[in-house]
Amino acid sequence: MMDCQQVKLTLSAFQDGRVLDGERLAIEQHLAACESCAERLEQLELVRHSLRNLPRRPLPAHLKYSLRSLASREAARRRYYAGLRGAVRAFGERASLWVNNLMRPVALPAAGGLVSAVFLFVLVLTNFQGIVRQHPNDVPLAIITAPTVRSVLFDLSDDSEVTLDVFVDEQGRVLDFVIPEGFGSAASHEMRRRLAATLLMTSFNPATAFGQPVSGWVRVKFRGRSEIDVRG
């Protein structure tokens, strides 16, 4: 036998026939015995009856026309977009709209920026005189140059020819030298001493990189009697 609380929770489903057979019998038995629950069911039936008998509001005429117009418009729109051509056209329209929406907010700043850039460029161009070379022996910028021989005080004092690779620092001083492969070698200590003395008395212009003096190697060929050939 169900109690009042259980029946109270199932009365709504009972009204709609959404209870199992056994449950329905138990509820009916309880209702036959319990006046309070029977009255509650009666009230719920009154509620449902009242709801079902609520007057139907007539559809306003203007709404009917509006809906018909809407349907006609949407049907035409759908026909327009039907088929491949329509799809392509629709895609084009959507893309155009998307680009417009994307660009419109930045159109004014972008145009302003472009005009400003052109204006500034013209302003600079009218005042631009070109590169004026003030001194003919200026070191050209933006290139890398090898060390060069500035002057030789002594030479080898004979007709021998020696080729050397000389390492010159950024102040034009000789720090090291070697005889490159295939150009012979310093046969004697005396020969090396003479070479060192000759280089000691030879001044170099240092190598440059972008106008700044840097250290670097240079190949120098001594041909006796101060005939010097320099290869960077």
Q: List interacting residues with another protein (CB under 8 A).
A: 9, 11-13, 15-18, 20, 40, 43-44, 46-48, 50-52, 54-60, 62-64, 66-68, 70-72, 74-80, 82
Structure tokens at 208: 């440059």
Q: Please return the burial class of 44, using the count of CB atoms within 10 Å of its CB with bins 0-12, 13-18 and 19+.
A: middle
217 DSSP β-pair partners: 167
Q: How far is the CB of 74 from another protein (least distance, A)?
A: 4
What Å distances lie between residue 83 and 86, 88, 221, CA to CA? 5, 9, 85
Between 59 and 142, name the residue whose CB sits nearer to another protein.
59
Q: How far is the CB of 57 from another protein (least distance, A)?
A: 5
DSSP helix/strand/coil, 56: coil
174-178 and 202-205: which strand pairing? unpaired
**Pick from 155, 147, 146: nearest CA to 202:** 155
Between 57 and 189, name the residue whose CB sits nearer to another protein.
57
Q: How far is the CB of 28 from another protein (least distance, A)?
A: 17
Q: How far is the CB of 91 from another protein (least distance, A)?
A: 15
Between 62 and 133, name the residue whose CB sits nearer to another protein.
62
Q: How far is the CB of 29 from another protein (least distance, A)?
A: 20
Between 12 and 163, name the residue whose CB sits nearer to another protein.
12
Between 48 and 193, name the residue whose CB sits nearer to another protein.
48
User: How distant is the alpha carbon of residue 7 from its chain centre?
Assistant: 68
Angle between helices 21-33 and 35-52 (to 10 degrees): 110
Radius of gyration of the chain (CA): 53
φ/ψ of residue 230, rounded to 5: -120, 130
Q: How far is the CB of 16 from another protein (least distance, A)?
A: 7
Between 75 and 114, name the residue whose CB sits nearer to another protein.
75
